[in-house]
Amino acid sequence: MNNNVIKKIILIIIFTFGNTSIFGQYADRYFEEGERAYEEERYSDALKAFKMGADLGDKYCCGKLAGMYLFGIGVPVDYVAARKWGQKGYELGNSFSAGIMGYSYLMEFGIESEEMLEKALPYFVFSYNAVEVDEENAGIYGNIGILIASTYELY
């Protein structure tokens, strides 16, 4: 078999099975590795593990990775990278990622910016209304975001 046929077979398998079974198990493993490294303050190891899981479509890894970039934990603050991974986690239904997205606009544009409110509010609302709160901070992010928006009578 030539390389092109092998590549096509691999792509078919990936698109067919997506983030289920084998891929999901690897993503779970990366999340656990990332959490352990993060707790031990081995941030470069945590970043690598969360990135591997996020690349496999793990919404929890996406949120953690986004948070590390947003708050500059083990890496320089990078709003673009934070939003890239936060958006991916949000699209996968992660309330923590939604909170991170809201805070990325808050931190970049400031609390009194209309642009911040316009961009951040949908993410804060999602985090606030999430049925499954993925991390304790997601609820806090949502509550603070709604509080900020309500002071401007936008909610």
- Work out the angle at residue 14's Cα, subtended by the Cα atoms of residues 26 and 31, and round it to the nearest 5 degrees: 20
Does pTM top 0.85 for this prediction?
Answer: no
**φ, ψ for residue 32, nearest 5 deg:** -60, -45
Q: CB-hemisphere CA count at 13 Å for 77? A: 8
> Would you say 46 and 74 are in contact if contact means Cβ atoms under 8 Å apart?
yes
Give tens-digit pLDDT for 80-133: 999 999 999 999 988 889 888 988 988 888 777 788 888 888 888 888 777 665
